[in-house]
Chain A
Amino acid sequence: MAPRDDDVARWVEDRLARLEPSDSTGDERRGLAQLRQPSRQPSPRSRRWIGSALAIATILVMAIATPSLRGFAQACGEFVMRTLPGTHATQTYAQTQGRRPFADDDWRDLRGHPIALSAFRGKVVLVTYWTTTCQQCASEMAWFNDFQRRYQERGLEVIGVLVDDGGVAAVKEFVTERPIEYQVVHRDRTNADPNLKSIPTTFILDRDGRVAARHVGYCSKRELETDIRTVLAEAFIDGSKRLQ
Protein backbone atom coordinates (compact mmCIF):
# COMPACT_ATOMS: atom_id res chain seq x y z
CA MET A 1 0.00 0.00 0.00
CA ALA A 2 1.34 3.39 -0.96
CA PRO A 3 2.16 5.64 2.01
CA ARG A 4 -0.14 8.58 2.69
CA ASP A 5 0.96 12.06 1.66
CA ASP A 6 1.23 13.13 5.31
CA ASP A 7 3.52 10.24 6.10
CA VAL A 8 5.70 10.99 3.08
CA ALA A 9 5.88 14.66 4.06
CA ARG A 10 7.05 13.77 7.57
CA TRP A 11 9.52 11.24 6.22
CA VAL A 12 11.02 13.78 3.80
CA GLU A 13 11.10 16.51 6.43
CA ASP A 14 12.94 14.18 8.76
CA ARG A 15 15.63 13.57 6.16
CA LEU A 16 16.01 17.20 5.13
CA ALA A 17 16.39 18.15 8.79
CA ARG A 18 19.59 16.12 8.91
CA LEU A 19 21.39 18.46 6.55
CA GLU A 20 24.03 20.57 8.22
CA PRO A 21 23.09 24.18 8.84
CA SER A 22 26.29 25.19 7.07
CA ASP A 23 25.04 23.60 3.86
CA SER A 24 22.49 26.31 3.39
CA THR A 25 21.29 28.61 6.09
CA GLY A 26 17.87 30.03 6.68
CA ASP A 27 19.17 33.47 5.86
CA GLU A 28 20.17 32.30 2.41
CA ARG A 29 16.85 30.68 1.75
CA ARG A 30 15.00 33.73 2.97
CA GLY A 31 17.28 35.84 0.78
CA LEU A 32 16.38 33.64 -2.15
CA ALA A 33 12.70 34.11 -1.49
CA GLN A 34 13.13 37.84 -0.98
CA LEU A 35 15.13 38.29 -4.14
CA ARG A 36 12.62 36.50 -6.30
CA GLN A 37 9.66 38.47 -5.11
CA PRO A 38 8.60 40.90 -7.80
CA SER A 39 10.07 44.26 -6.86
CA ARG A 40 7.95 47.37 -6.77
CA GLN A 41 9.26 49.65 -9.49
CA PRO A 42 8.81 53.39 -9.00
CA SER A 43 7.37 55.48 -11.80
CA PRO A 44 9.90 57.34 -13.96
CA ARG A 45 8.89 60.62 -12.26
CA SER A 46 9.38 59.31 -8.72
CA ARG A 47 12.64 57.64 -9.81
CA ARG A 48 13.89 61.01 -11.09
CA TRP A 49 12.83 62.63 -7.82
CA ILE A 50 14.60 60.01 -5.75
CA GLY A 51 17.66 60.25 -7.99
CA SER A 52 17.82 64.04 -7.57
CA ALA A 53 17.43 63.80 -3.80
CA LEU A 54 20.18 61.22 -3.61
CA ALA A 55 22.48 63.30 -5.81
CA ILE A 56 22.01 66.32 -3.52
CA ALA A 57 22.54 64.15 -0.46
CA THR A 58 25.73 62.74 -1.99
CA ILE A 59 27.08 66.23 -2.69
CA LEU A 60 26.32 67.25 0.90
CA VAL A 61 28.02 64.13 2.23
CA MET A 62 31.10 64.77 0.11
CA ALA A 63 31.16 68.36 1.33
CA ILE A 64 31.47 67.29 4.93
CA ALA A 65 35.14 67.44 5.77
CA THR A 66 35.18 65.59 9.11
CA PRO A 67 35.72 61.84 8.51
CA SER A 68 33.49 60.79 11.41
CA LEU A 69 30.63 63.00 10.25
CA ARG A 70 31.12 61.78 6.72
CA GLY A 71 30.94 58.20 7.94
CA PHE A 72 27.79 58.94 9.87
CA ALA A 73 26.20 60.65 6.90
CA GLN A 74 27.15 57.74 4.67
CA ALA A 75 25.56 55.29 7.12
CA CYS A 76 22.40 57.41 7.09
CA GLY A 77 22.41 57.38 3.30
CA GLU A 78 22.73 53.60 3.25
CA PHE A 79 19.87 53.30 5.69
CA VAL A 80 17.66 55.45 3.49
CA MET A 81 18.67 53.41 0.44
CA ARG A 82 17.73 50.21 2.19
CA THR A 83 14.41 51.38 3.57
CA LEU A 84 12.97 53.35 0.67
CA PRO A 85 11.03 50.96 -1.57
CA GLY A 86 12.15 50.86 -5.16
CA THR A 87 15.49 52.56 -4.63
CA HIS A 88 17.42 49.41 -5.48
CA ALA A 89 16.14 49.54 -9.03
CA THR A 90 19.61 48.73 -10.32
CA GLN A 91 19.61 45.35 -8.66
CA THR A 92 18.87 42.44 -10.92
CA TYR A 93 18.84 38.81 -10.05
CA ALA A 94 18.39 36.10 -12.61
CA GLN A 95 17.11 32.64 -11.89
CA THR A 96 19.49 29.84 -12.70
CA GLN A 97 17.77 29.17 -15.99
CA GLY A 98 18.39 31.72 -18.72
CA ARG A 99 21.45 33.41 -17.27
CA ARG A 100 23.84 34.88 -19.76
CA PRO A 101 27.55 34.10 -19.67
CA PHE A 102 29.82 36.89 -18.50
CA ALA A 103 31.84 38.19 -21.43
CA ASP A 104 35.51 37.45 -20.93
CA ASP A 105 37.72 40.49 -21.12
CA ASP A 106 41.32 41.57 -21.43
CA TRP A 107 42.31 41.58 -17.77
CA ARG A 108 45.89 41.97 -16.58
CA ASP A 109 47.23 41.49 -13.09
CA LEU A 110 49.51 44.12 -11.57
CA ARG A 111 52.52 42.51 -13.19
CA GLY A 112 50.87 42.77 -16.59
CA HIS A 113 50.10 39.07 -16.92
CA PRO A 114 46.78 38.13 -18.50
CA ILE A 115 44.08 36.82 -16.15
CA ALA A 116 41.33 34.65 -17.61
CA LEU A 117 37.97 34.45 -15.91
CA SER A 118 37.81 30.79 -16.85
CA ALA A 119 40.49 30.20 -14.21
CA PHE A 120 37.80 30.88 -11.58
CA ARG A 121 35.23 28.45 -13.01
CA GLY A 122 33.63 26.45 -10.21
CA LYS A 123 33.67 29.42 -7.87
CA VAL A 124 31.17 32.16 -7.22
CA VAL A 125 32.95 35.29 -8.47
CA LEU A 126 32.19 38.86 -7.49
CA VAL A 127 33.50 41.17 -10.22
CA THR A 128 33.50 44.85 -9.41
CA TYR A 129 34.49 47.57 -11.86
CA TRP A 130 35.97 50.67 -10.29
CA THR A 131 38.48 53.46 -10.73
CA THR A 132 41.05 54.95 -8.38
CA THR A 133 39.20 58.29 -8.47
CA CYS A 134 35.79 56.88 -7.53
CA GLN A 135 35.01 57.86 -3.91
CA GLN A 136 32.10 55.51 -3.69
CA CYS A 137 34.25 52.61 -4.88
CA ALA A 138 36.78 53.38 -2.15
CA SER A 139 34.10 52.94 0.49
CA GLU A 140 33.24 49.53 -0.96
CA MET A 141 36.81 48.30 -0.66
CA ALA A 142 36.38 47.35 3.00
CA TRP A 143 33.19 45.45 2.14
CA PHE A 144 34.95 43.40 -0.50
CA ASN A 145 37.81 42.63 1.89
CA ASP A 146 35.21 41.41 4.36
CA PHE A 147 33.42 39.26 1.75
CA GLN A 148 36.70 37.75 0.60
CA ARG A 149 37.67 36.81 4.16
CA ARG A 150 34.31 35.44 5.25
CA TYR A 151 33.16 33.59 2.13
CA GLN A 152 36.40 32.42 0.56
CA GLU A 153 36.15 28.98 2.12
CA ARG A 154 32.66 28.56 0.71
CA GLY A 155 33.87 29.29 -2.80
CA LEU A 156 33.77 33.06 -3.28
CA GLU A 157 36.43 34.94 -5.20
CA VAL A 158 36.39 38.75 -5.35
CA ILE A 159 37.98 40.45 -8.35
CA GLY A 160 38.34 44.21 -8.51
CA VAL A 161 38.71 45.42 -12.10
CA LEU A 162 40.36 48.82 -12.30
CA VAL A 163 39.51 50.66 -15.49
CA ASP A 164 41.71 53.72 -15.12
CA ASP A 165 43.46 54.99 -18.21
CA GLY A 166 47.20 54.59 -18.45
CA GLY A 167 47.65 50.88 -18.04
CA VAL A 168 48.78 48.78 -15.11
CA ALA A 169 51.57 51.19 -14.18
CA ALA A 170 49.09 53.95 -13.43
CA VAL A 171 47.23 51.93 -10.80
CA LYS A 172 49.96 49.76 -9.33
CA GLU A 173 51.05 52.27 -6.71
CA PHE A 174 47.48 53.04 -5.71
CA VAL A 175 46.71 49.37 -5.15
CA THR A 176 49.90 48.41 -3.33
CA GLU A 177 49.45 51.31 -0.89
CA ARG A 178 46.06 50.04 0.23
CA PRO A 179 45.07 47.00 2.27
CA ILE A 180 43.23 45.19 -0.50
CA GLU A 181 42.80 41.50 0.23
CA TYR A 182 41.25 40.41 -3.04
CA GLN A 183 42.51 39.99 -6.58
CA VAL A 184 42.89 43.28 -8.43
CA VAL A 185 43.21 43.34 -12.20
CA HIS A 186 43.36 46.13 -14.73
CA ARG A 187 41.79 46.61 -18.09
CA ASP A 188 42.22 49.42 -20.54
CA ARG A 189 39.18 51.65 -20.46
CA THR A 190 39.59 52.53 -24.10
CA ASN A 191 38.61 49.00 -25.07
CA ALA A 192 34.88 48.52 -25.38
CA ASP A 193 33.62 46.30 -22.59
CA PRO A 194 30.10 44.93 -22.99
CA ASN A 195 29.91 44.34 -19.23
CA LEU A 196 30.49 47.93 -18.26
CA LYS A 197 27.96 50.74 -18.45
CA SER A 198 28.71 52.70 -15.30
CA ILE A 199 31.14 52.96 -12.38
CA PRO A 200 30.87 51.23 -10.00
CA THR A 201 29.25 48.15 -11.46
CA THR A 202 29.35 44.85 -9.63
CA PHE A 203 28.48 41.42 -10.98
CA ILE A 204 28.04 38.21 -9.08
CA LEU A 205 28.77 35.24 -11.28
CA ASP A 206 27.60 31.74 -10.52
CA ARG A 207 29.87 28.71 -10.52
CA ASP A 208 29.38 28.28 -14.27
CA GLY A 209 30.59 31.81 -15.01
CA ARG A 210 27.12 33.20 -15.74
CA VAL A 211 25.72 36.49 -14.46
CA ALA A 212 23.53 35.74 -11.44
CA ALA A 213 23.22 39.31 -10.17
CA ARG A 214 24.23 42.77 -11.28
CA HIS A 215 24.38 46.05 -9.40
CA VAL A 216 24.90 49.19 -11.45
CA GLY A 217 25.81 52.19 -9.35
CA TYR A 218 25.32 52.55 -5.66
CA CYS A 219 23.97 49.76 -3.50
CA SER A 220 24.32 48.75 0.12
CA LYS A 221 26.63 46.14 1.58
CA ARG A 222 23.65 44.15 2.72
CA GLU A 223 22.24 43.90 -0.79
CA LEU A 224 25.52 42.64 -2.13
CA GLU A 225 25.92 40.18 0.71
CA THR A 226 22.39 38.82 0.25
CA ASP A 227 23.20 38.10 -3.38
CA ILE A 228 26.52 36.49 -2.51
CA ARG A 229 24.96 34.21 0.08
CA THR A 230 22.12 33.31 -2.26
CA VAL A 231 24.39 32.41 -5.16
CA LEU A 232 26.67 30.42 -2.84
CA ALA A 233 23.59 28.56 -1.57
CA GLU A 234 22.43 27.82 -5.10
CA ALA A 235 25.21 25.30 -5.43
CA PHE A 236 23.41 23.30 -2.83
CA ILE A 237 19.91 23.68 -4.19
CA ASP A 238 20.83 23.54 -7.84
CA GLY A 239 23.54 20.95 -7.99
CA SER A 240 24.41 19.43 -4.67
CA LYS A 241 26.88 17.09 -6.38
CA ARG A 242 29.36 19.94 -6.21
CA LEU A 243 29.35 19.85 -2.43
CA GLN A 244 29.92 16.15 -2.13
Chain B
Amino acid sequence: MHTAREEQWRVRSVLSVLSWREGALLLLRSEGLSYAEVAAAVQVSPTSVGTLLTRAQQAFRKEYVKRYGPA
Protein backbone atom coordinates (compact mmCIF):
# COMPACT_ATOMS: atom_id res chain seq x y z
CA MET B 1 0.00 0.00 0.00
CA HIS B 2 1.59 3.26 -1.04
CA THR B 3 1.13 6.57 0.69
CA ALA B 4 -0.89 9.55 -0.51
CA ARG B 5 2.36 11.37 -1.25
CA GLU B 6 3.62 8.52 -3.35
CA GLU B 7 0.36 8.46 -5.25
CA GLN B 8 0.71 12.18 -5.96
CA TRP B 9 4.21 11.56 -7.19
CA ARG B 10 2.93 8.84 -9.51
CA VAL B 11 0.22 11.08 -10.92
CA ARG B 12 2.71 13.89 -11.54
CA SER B 13 5.12 11.49 -13.20
CA VAL B 14 2.47 10.25 -15.57
CA LEU B 15 1.28 13.78 -16.35
CA SER B 16 4.82 14.83 -17.11
CA VAL B 17 5.16 12.36 -19.98
CA LEU B 18 1.82 13.19 -21.57
CA SER B 19 1.68 16.01 -24.08
CA TRP B 20 1.04 19.53 -22.79
CA ARG B 21 -2.44 19.45 -24.25
CA GLU B 22 -3.35 16.12 -22.71
CA GLY B 23 -2.14 17.22 -19.28
CA ALA B 24 -3.96 20.52 -19.51
CA LEU B 25 -7.18 18.85 -20.66
CA LEU B 26 -7.13 16.44 -17.73
CA LEU B 27 -6.27 19.03 -15.10
CA LEU B 28 -8.63 21.70 -16.32
CA ARG B 29 -11.51 19.28 -16.63
CA SER B 30 -10.83 17.73 -13.23
CA GLU B 31 -11.03 21.24 -11.79
CA GLY B 32 -14.62 21.42 -13.00
CA LEU B 33 -14.21 23.67 -16.02
CA SER B 34 -16.86 23.26 -18.70
CA TYR B 35 -16.04 21.86 -22.12
CA ALA B 36 -16.26 25.39 -23.54
CA GLU B 37 -13.78 26.73 -20.97
CA VAL B 38 -11.41 23.83 -21.53
CA ALA B 39 -11.67 24.33 -25.29
CA ALA B 40 -10.76 27.99 -24.94
CA ALA B 41 -7.84 27.17 -22.67
CA VAL B 42 -6.20 24.64 -24.92
CA GLN B 43 -7.39 26.27 -28.12
CA VAL B 44 -9.35 23.41 -29.64
CA SER B 45 -12.87 23.25 -30.95
CA PRO B 46 -15.49 22.76 -28.19
CA THR B 47 -16.96 19.89 -30.18
CA SER B 48 -13.67 17.99 -30.10
CA VAL B 49 -13.02 18.39 -26.38
CA GLY B 50 -14.92 15.21 -25.51
CA THR B 51 -12.91 13.09 -27.93
CA LEU B 52 -9.58 14.64 -26.96
CA LEU B 53 -10.39 14.27 -23.27
CA THR B 54 -11.23 10.60 -23.69
CA ARG B 55 -7.96 10.06 -25.53
CA ALA B 56 -6.07 11.91 -22.81
CA GLN B 57 -7.71 9.75 -20.14
CA GLN B 58 -6.84 6.60 -22.06
CA ALA B 59 -3.26 7.79 -22.46
CA PHE B 60 -3.03 8.62 -18.75
CA ARG B 61 -4.36 5.22 -17.69
CA LYS B 62 -2.15 3.37 -20.17
CA GLU B 63 0.98 5.14 -18.96
CA TYR B 64 0.02 4.71 -15.32
CA VAL B 65 -0.64 1.00 -15.69
CA LYS B 66 2.58 0.54 -17.66
CA ARG B 67 4.57 2.13 -14.87
CA TYR B 68 2.78 1.03 -11.74
CA GLY B 69 0.38 -1.74 -12.70
CA PRO B 70 -3.44 -1.65 -12.58
CA ALA B 71 -3.74 -0.23 -9.06
A positions within 8 Å CB-CB of B: 3, 5, 8-9, 11-13, 15-20, 23-24, 26, 29-30, 32-33, 36-38, 95-97, 236-241, 243-244
Contacts and interface: CB of A to CB of B under 8 A. Distances in A.
Contact of B30 (A5, A13, A33, A96): A13
Nearest to A32: B41
B1 interface: no
B7 to A, nearest CB: 5
Most chain B Cβ neighbours within 10 Å, of A11, A12, A38 = A12
Interface string B41-57: 11100000000011001
Contacts of A13: 30
A8 B37 contact: no
A222 B10 CA distance: 34
Size range of the interface on B? 20 to 34
Contacts of A19: 8, 11-12
A18 to B, nearest CB: 5
Contacts of A95: 43
A37 B11 contact: no
Interface of B: 4, 7-13, 15-16, 20, 23-24, 26-28, 30-33, 37-38, 40-43, 53-54, 57-58, 60-61, 64
B11 A96 contact: no
A5 B54 contact: yes
13 contacts: A9-B54, A15-B11, A16-B27, A17-B30, A26-B31, A29-B28, A30-B33, A236-B15, A237-B23, A237-B27, A238-B20, A240-B16, A240-B23
A67 to B, nearest CB: 41
Given A19-B8, A30-B31, A33-B41, 11 more contacts: A8-B61, A9-B53, A9-B54, A15-B64, A18-B7, A26-B31, A32-B28, A36-B41, A37-B40, A236-B27, A240-B23
Contact of B13 (A11, A33, A238, A240): A240
B8 A18 contact: yes
A34 to B, nearest CB: 8
Contacts of A238: 20, 23
A33 B28 contact: yes
Contacts of B27: 16, 24, 29, 236-237
